[in-house]
């Protein structure tokens, strides 16, 4: 790749990202698999960046997984989204900060639909009013939570305790970034850097000292495929697509994969274990996998948060090799602790992947 | 029934189908086309033919169920078509008309309604830790077995408000919020769709000699959830 | 327990045609002995008139395509469906002797199966 | 004696200027750069007969040297106004030219391939455009990869920036198909060992001898034509390019790695064309090119009295079409001046 590209071609996609006062909508998958990431995000927003972000008890799932697996009608999801907007409006906010990439895509798609088909917006208003008595305003700004971290990546860099550099060699760590499909593939102008060379994560990685790997299957889907994962018989689709990515990135020896979508993070983590079981194949060095991290986890590590407070113990692929390269100190015995510091027995470590 | 007209009632169909020039740019990078006998370009041209018989057999076929909704096709199509969106509408109509039970992949909708559908209405989440049973999800690995077993400890340690009222990750969604969600489903056809999926599925199950009881444990659920070959289904 | 049974699914085979890695011996053999084949336009004129294709599931245009993509297995499956009537040659806008192409494929399949080394240029 | 100002010193401008001066009019040719000839100066050989572009250069050169018309280089038009049936043109160096008629011959610009980010132009070392290739061919240097190796596999990609809503260009640029065929033949002659693949949607061999050249490419040069539009390009660790398309005739995705990738870039209205539209108040069509008063029998006229169009400011055109079009523009202007 030439120098010209590394500086980024973001100029043609000038995405606006609100600077403060966000209404936070959580992600089903992130809460389930990486709850520490959402905790870290709010902590960074409030404690490091001094932002006002509202965490509402009454919002629900956007039903996006149900919608994309076709058991939730378009009209229904429009109205559920309208309800989230109504809650935001009622709390006095105009800027939506979205934790989930599927949801982010849903919000963008629905707002775009309402622009092109105003009768759909009218219907959503009527439906919401009838069902809940609520009214709503369309957010002034919709940002994925990774957009916000991107926006403040320099401020985070200033507070950084660690840099994404191999502490032994001084070389930048090689990081693969994987962008969730629904972040920019549907609406390239809604993503930082567009759909083809999305720079929301690569800009963070570079400014925090790491190097971004450009590998052939960079843009390929992780393979979630909604119904293709939800049904056991279809999971071959899901794993095969992830495998295609790993095969493609392997020659570049990435130190970790960073994702902005919680689903991608989880699948690219778990499928490495299943591939190891099925094919006795691992993609990291020394029989290990390649750690797959959320961008919140990455930001948290850079800021010096404890890896086990971030929730790295919830990953199937162990992240210790990555932490060691970063020179991050951690207490191994704390990895599997429960609430109030209680030490628990850890998970079974599979023989196929260390 | 004029199926093309029926499809065209949905704004997403009108948004997704402009005019295909058969360039194949969608198929080239389609994750489903790589691993399934599937070609989004061919699907679009079939729909575009407006041939009622062709569309009917499409609605009864596996072909509409292979797409993984990644929407990579939308980024690239030089004519602004969105095969992934057309697929959504085909699936909707296939379910409304009960055609989905005619194909192996279509029948799987029963299992999705039983899992994700129930999660949404009972918990307010599409997925919930208590519903990801390691037995049904061996691919989640030993780490998930550990999380599943110790979930209260682990989630609490990571700052979640697990299964409790108030804000926070994995908070218990209040009765009022769940009631609003249900009211929205009732008002907008969401409940109706879930009912249709169940009715058509159970009809097919009974015709084929299954004895489903409407849970994720029943024989029909296991058949459609686990099997790649539905030789037992008529 | 085997891994695929444990998980209930397996890794799928890719359907992607890999134009870099395919066995081009059969193609080169046909090109050498029936030069006209190289000018095929994939217009489908042959398929439209094909005697066999009008009776059974057989697309003679695809024979040329399978050959050019090195899909010998597909050719083995399809090639005997041709009745060798030669009508395709009559309609071909490029005058390709498709009948001879098919004869050569049949011969070539046997030849290369037996491992006869063949070093010819495209 | 009536006067005509011709704006643009490319093929269309020179041919129109020459023909109108032969009719006995007082002709001034205005060119924004310091050289006459336009983009043709960069071309190596012309389709479909592979004539050396230098022959065309000579032809234009003779027209300029022997033609009875004035040439003003390094000049652009900043303003235009009309009074008493005359047009007054103000140049960027503040000169005013009074004229009876104007011929806009401001031509096209090559599509900027870096706008198709997924094709990797200006990102990956071995992705070049048909214009880059033409320059390399003209330089006479060996065609190699950036690292200096002889390419073994070459991909040629049709419809880059044409027939593409994502580029904002719905139209067909007409000349790319035949340019691809021509360049693939030239590459094969220079690199007889290389395998060359053209990825196309339709092969629009609309001109005389184009179809024959296509057949020659297949028969004599073993060029492979694959029906499928390029979806994306990425770089392998060895700097080869992984390309993906659908083999639409097989109905399956297809991938291959190539050492060199040539993007057949289309035509867009030139900056000069857009600027003249603004200055003279000329109408543009859906494609952004200048609109003629009638596609069939007014194809050099505009809605503005005294302003005429010649060449590829009207739409994508080959060189021979441009020359014919320029001559017809000259005749149109001549007839107009006779009635004035």
Supply A203's token pair. 């800009």
**Cβ of D193 under 8 Å from any chain C Cβ?**
no
Find the mean pLDDT for residues B22-41: 98
Question: pLDDT tens digits, residue range A82-98?
Answer: 999 999 999 999 999 99
User: Does A315 sit within 8 Å of B126, measured CB to CB?
Assistant: no
The CA distance from D58 to D203, in Å, is 31
Find the mean pLDDT for residues A58-73: 98
User: Does C122 sit within 8 Å of D215, measured CB to CB?
Assistant: no
Q: What is the dihedral of CA D9, D15, D18, D24, to 10 degrees?
A: -110
**Cβ of D117 under 8 Å from any chain B Cβ?**
no
CA atoms within 13 A on the CB side of C122: 18
So what's the pLDDT on residue B215? 86
Instruction: Give yes or no for a contact between A28 and B132, defined as CB atoms under 8 angstroms apart.
Output: no
Question: pLDDT tens digits, residue range D44-86?
Answer: 999 999 999 999 999 999 999 999 999 999 999 999 999 989 9
Provide the 10 A C-beta neighbour count for residue A69: 26
Terminal CA-to-CA distance of chain A, rounded, Å? 33
So what's the pLDDT on residue B68? 98
pLDDT level of residue D125 (50, 70, 90 thresholds): very high
- Cβ-Cβ contacts under 8 Å for B160 (sequence gap 6 or more): A31, A35, A39, B168, B169, B170, B171
Nearest by Cα to A79 from B122, B183, B9, B86: B183
Instruction: Give yes or no for a contact between B164 and B62, defined as CB atoms under 8 angstroms apart.
Output: no
Find the mean pLDDT for residues A287-299: 97
So what's the pLDDT on residue B205? 96
Its sign, for the CA torsion A327, A332, A337, A343, is negative
ipTM of the complex model: 0.94
* Phi, psi at D256, each rounded to 5°: -160, 160
Contacts of D234 in chain A (CB under 8 A): 214-218
User: Does A279 sit within 8 Å of C11, measured CB to CB?
Assistant: yes
Supply D52's token pair. 């050396």
So what's the pLDDT on residue D336? 97
- Is residue B192 packed enough to be buried (19+ CB in 10 Å), middle (13-18) or exposed (0-12)? middle
Find the mean pLDDT for residues D130-158: 97
User: Does A275 sit within 8 Å of C9, measured CB to CB?
Assistant: no
Q: In terms of pLDDT, which residue wins out, A4 or C48? A: C48
b/e map A165-198, b = 16+ CB within 10 Å: bbeeeeebbbbbbbbbbbbbbbbbebbbbbbbbb
So what's the pLDDT on residue B181? 98
> Distance (Å) from the C-alpha of residue C6 to the closest C-alpha of chain D?
31
So what's the pLDDT on residue A6? 42
Sheet containing strand D224-227, strands side by side? D127-129, D260-265, D153-160, D195-200, D224-227
User: Does C6 sit within 8 Å of B138, measured CB to CB?
Assistant: yes
Its sign, for the CA torsion D10, D11, D17, D21, is positive
C38: nearest CB among D195, D219, D226: D219
Please give the C-alpha separations between residue A105 and each of A76, A260, B29, in angstroms, as whole numbers.
16, 13, 20
Residue A268 gets the label, from left (phi > 0), alpha (psi -120 to 50) or beta, of alpha
**Cβ of A11 under 8 Å from any chain D Cβ?**
no
Interface test with C, best of D227, D246, D252, D261 (most C CBs within 10 A): D252
**Cβ of C42 under 8 Å from any chain D Cβ?**
yes
Its sign, for the CA torsion A249, A254, A256, A261, is negative
User: Does C3 sit within 8 Å of A277, measured CB to CB?
Assistant: yes
Find the mean pLDDT for residues B54-79: 98
The CA distance from A84 to A77, in Å, is 11
Q: Is the per-residue pLDDT at A5 higher than 50?
A: no
**Cβ of A344 under 8 Å from any chain D Cβ?**
no
Least CA distance to B226: which residue of chain A?
A: A233
Least CA distance to D243: which residue of chain B?
A: B28
D117: nearest CB among A197, A218, A252: A197
Q: Is the per-residue pLDDT at B144 higher than 70?
A: yes
pLDDT level of residue A1 (50, 70, 90 thresholds): very low
Find the mean pLDDT for residues B110-127: 97
Q: What is the DSSP-derived secondary structure letter of residue D23?
A: T
pLDDT level of residue A340 (50, 70, 90 thresholds): confident
Q: Is the per-residue pLDDT at B232 higher than 60?
A: yes
Window D:216-245, CB contacts with C under 8 Å: 218-219, 222, 224, 226-227
Neighbouring subunits of A (3+ Cβ pairs under 8 A): B, C, D
Q: What is the DSSP-derived secondary structure letter of residue A45?
A: I
So what's the pLDDT on residue C114? 66
- Is residue C14 packed enough to be buried (19+ CB in 10 Å), middle (13-18) or exposed (0-12)? middle
Q: What is the DSSP-derived secondary structure letter of residue D167?
A: G
How many residue pairs bridge chain C and chain D with CB atoms within 8 Å of each other?
45
Residues of A engaging C, defined by a Cβ cutoff of 8 Å = 232-237, 239-240, 243-244, 274-275, 277-279
Query: Model pTM?
Result: 0.95
- Cβ-Cβ contacts under 8 Å for A111 (sequence gap 6 or more): A138, A139, A142
Least CA distance to B134: which residue of chain C?
A: C7
How many residue pairs bridge chain B and chain C with CB atoms within 8 Å of each other?
16
Average pLDDT, chain B: 96
pLDDT level of residue A8 (50, 70, 90 thresholds): very low
Contacts of B144 in chain A (CB under 8 A): 270, 316
So what's the pLDDT on residue C115? 60
Window C:10-69, CB contacts with A under 8 Å: 10-12, 14
Interface test with B, best of C4, C8, C9, C12 (most B CBs within 10 A): C8
- DSSP assignment of C2-27 equals -HHHHHT--PPPP--EESSS---HHH
Question: pLDDT tens digits, residue range A192-237?
Answer: 999 999 999 999 999 999 999 999 999 999 999 999 999 999 999 9
User: Does D222 sit within 8 Å of C17, measured CB to CB?
Assistant: no
Please give the C-alpha separations between residue B215 and each of A187, B109, C63, in angstroms, as whole numbers.
39, 14, 50
The CA distance from D107 to A122, in Å, is 48
Instruction: Give yes or no for a contact between D63 and D18, defined as CB atoms under 8 angstroms apart.
Output: yes
CA atoms within 13 A on the CB side of A282: 17
The CA distance from D295 to A49, in Å, is 61
**Strand D153-160 relative to strand D195-200: parallel, antiparallel, unpaired?**
parallel
Average pLDDT, chain A: 95
3-state SS, one letter per residue, for B49-74: CCCHHHHHHHHCCHHHHCCCCCCHHH
What percentage of chain D reaches a pLDDT higher than 90?
Answer: 98
Least CA distance to A248: which residue of chain D?
A: D236
User: Does A251 sit within 8 Å of D123, measured CB to CB?
Assistant: no
Contacts of C14 in chain B (CB under 8 A): 34-35
pLDDT along chain C (122 residues), means of 10: 84 93 89 94 94 95 93 93 94 95 94 62 40
* Positions of E strands within chain A: 22-25, 53-55, 95-98, 141-144, 174-178, 211-212, 256-259, 292-294
Instruction: Give yes or no for a contact between A30 and A262, defined as CB atoms under 8 angstroms apart.
Output: yes
Instruction: Give yes or no for a contact between D273 and D76, defined as CB atoms under 8 angstroms apart.
Output: no
């Amino acid at each position: 790749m030439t120098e010209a590209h590394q500086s980024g071609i973001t100029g043609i996609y000038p995405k606006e990202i609100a600077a403060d006062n966000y209404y936070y909508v959580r992600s089903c998958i992130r809460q389930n698999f990486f709850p520490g990431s959402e905790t870290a995000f709010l902590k960074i927003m409030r404690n490091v960046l001094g932002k006002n972000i509202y965490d509402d008890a009454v919002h629900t799932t956007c039903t996006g997984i149900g919608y994309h697996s076709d058991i939730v009608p378009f009209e229904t999801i429009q109205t559920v989204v309208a309800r989230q907007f109504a809650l935001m409006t009622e709390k006095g906010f105009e800027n939506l900060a979205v934790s989930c990439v599927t949801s982010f895509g849903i919000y963008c798609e629905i707002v775009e639909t309402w622009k092109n088909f105003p009768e759909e917006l009218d219907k959503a208003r009527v439906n919401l009013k009838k069902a809940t008595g609520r009214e709503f305003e369309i957010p002034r700004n919709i940002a994925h939570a990774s957009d916000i971290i991107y926006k403040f990546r320099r401020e985070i860099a200033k507070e950084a305790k660690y840099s994404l550099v191999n502490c032994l060699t001084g070389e930048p760590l090689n990081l693969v970034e994987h962008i969730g499909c629904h972040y920019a593939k549907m609406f390239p102008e809604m993503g930082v850097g567009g759909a083809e060379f999305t720079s929301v994560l690569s800009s963070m990685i570079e400014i925090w000292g790491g190097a971004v790997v450009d590998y052939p299957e960079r843009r390929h889907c992780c393979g979630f495929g909604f119904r293709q994962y939800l049904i056991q018989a279809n999971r071959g689709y899901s794993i095969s697509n992830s495998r295609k990515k790993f095969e493609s990135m392997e020659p570049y020896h990435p130190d970790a994969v960073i994702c902005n979508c919680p689903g991608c993070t989880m699948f690219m983590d778990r499928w490495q274990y299943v591939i190891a079981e099925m094919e006795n194949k691992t993609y990291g060095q020394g029989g290990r996998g390649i750690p797959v991290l959320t961008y919140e986890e990455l930001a948290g590590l850079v800021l010096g948060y404890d890896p086990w407070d971030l929730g790295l113990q919830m990953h199937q692929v162990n992240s210790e090799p990555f932490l060691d390269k970063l020179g991050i100190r951690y207490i191994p015995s704390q990895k599997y602790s429960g609430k109030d510091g209680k030490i628990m027995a850890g998970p079974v470590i599979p023989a196929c992947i260390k | 029934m004029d199926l093309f007209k029926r499809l065209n009632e949905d704004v997403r169909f009108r948004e997704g189908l402009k005019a295909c020039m058969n360039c194949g740019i969608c198929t080239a990078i389609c994750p489903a086309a790589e691993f399934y006998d599937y070609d989004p370009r061919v699907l679009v041209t079939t729909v575009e033919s407006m041939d009622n018989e062709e569309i009917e057999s499409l609605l009864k076929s596996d072909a509409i169920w292979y797409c993984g909704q990644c929407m990579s096709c939308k980024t690239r199509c030089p004519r602004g078509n969105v095969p992934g969106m057309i697929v959504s509408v085909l699936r909707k109509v296939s379910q409304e008309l009960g055609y989905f039970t005619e194909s192996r992949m279509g029948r799987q909708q029963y299992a999705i309604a039983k899992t994700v559908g129930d999660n949404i209405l009972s918990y307010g989440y599409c997925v919930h830790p208590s519903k990801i049973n390691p037995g049904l999800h061996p691919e989640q690995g030993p780490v998930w077995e550990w999380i599943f077993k110790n979930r209260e400890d682990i989630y609490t340690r990571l700052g979640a408000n697990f299964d409790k009222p108030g804000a926070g990750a994995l908070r218990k969604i209040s009765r009022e919020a769940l009631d609003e969600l249900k009211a929205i489903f009732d008002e907008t056809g969401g409940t109706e769709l879930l009912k249709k999926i169940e009715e058509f599925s159970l009809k097919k199950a009974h015709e084929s000699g299954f004895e489903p009881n409407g849970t994720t444990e029943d024989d029909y659920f296991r058949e459609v959830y686990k099997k790649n070959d539905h030789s037992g289904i008529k | 327990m085997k891994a695929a049974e444990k998980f209930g699914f397996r890794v799928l085979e890719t359907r992607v045609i890999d134009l870099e890695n395919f066995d081009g011996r059969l193609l080169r053999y046909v090109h050498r002995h029936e030069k006209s084949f190289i000018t095929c336009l994939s217009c489908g004129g042959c398929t439209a008139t094909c005697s066999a294709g009008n009776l059974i599931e057989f697309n003679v245009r695809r024979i040329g395509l399978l050959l050019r993509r090195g899909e010998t297995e597909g050719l083995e499956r399809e090639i005997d469906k041709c009745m060798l009537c030669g009508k395709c040659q009559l309609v071909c806008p490029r005058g390709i002797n498709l009948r001879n192409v098919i004869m050569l494929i049949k011969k070539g399949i046997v030849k290369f199966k037996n491992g006869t080394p063949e070093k010819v240029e495209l | 004696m009536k006067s005509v100002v011709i704006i643009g010193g490319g093929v269309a401008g020179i041919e129109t200027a020459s023909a109108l001066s032969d009719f006995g009019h007082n002709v001034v040719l205005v060119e924004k750069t310091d050289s006459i000839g336009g983009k043709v100066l960069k071309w190596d050989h012309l389709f479909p007969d592979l004539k050396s572009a230098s022959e065309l250069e000579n032809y234009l050169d003779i027209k300029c040297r022997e033609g009875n018309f004035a040439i003003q280089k390094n000049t652009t038009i900043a303003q235009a106004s009309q009074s008493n049936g005359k047009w007054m043109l103000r140049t960027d160096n503040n000169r005013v030219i009074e004229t009876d008629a104007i011929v806009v011959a401001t031509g096209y610009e090559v599509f900027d391939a870096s706008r198709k980010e997924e094709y990797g132009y200006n990102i990956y070392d071995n992705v070049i455009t048909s214009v880059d290739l033409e320059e390399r061919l003209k330089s006479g240097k060996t065609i190699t990869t950036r690292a200096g190796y002889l390419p073994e596999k070459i991909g040629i990609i049709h419809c880059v920036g044409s027939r593409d809503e994502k580029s904002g260009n719905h139209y067909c640029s007409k000349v790319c198909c035949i340019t691809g065929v021509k360049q693939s033949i030239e590459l094969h002659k220079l690199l007889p060992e290389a395998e060359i693949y053209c990825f196309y949607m339709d092969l629009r061999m609309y001109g005389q001898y184009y179809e024959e050249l296509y057949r020659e490419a297949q028969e004599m040069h073993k060029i492979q034509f694959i029906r499928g539009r390029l979806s994306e390009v990425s770089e392998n660790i060895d700097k080869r390019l992984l390309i993906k398309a659908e083999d639409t005739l097989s109905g399956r995705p297809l991938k291959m790695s190539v050492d060199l990738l040539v993007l057949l870039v289309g035509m867009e209205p030139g900056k000069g064309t857009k600027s003249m539209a603004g200055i003279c108040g000329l109408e543009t069509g859906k494609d952004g090119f200048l609109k003629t008063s009638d596609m069939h029998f007014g194809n050099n006229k505009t809605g503005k009295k005294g302003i005429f169009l010649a060449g590829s400011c009207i739409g994508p055109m080959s060189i021979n079409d441009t020359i014919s079009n320029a001559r017809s523009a000259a005749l149109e202007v001549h007839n107009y001046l006779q009635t004035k």
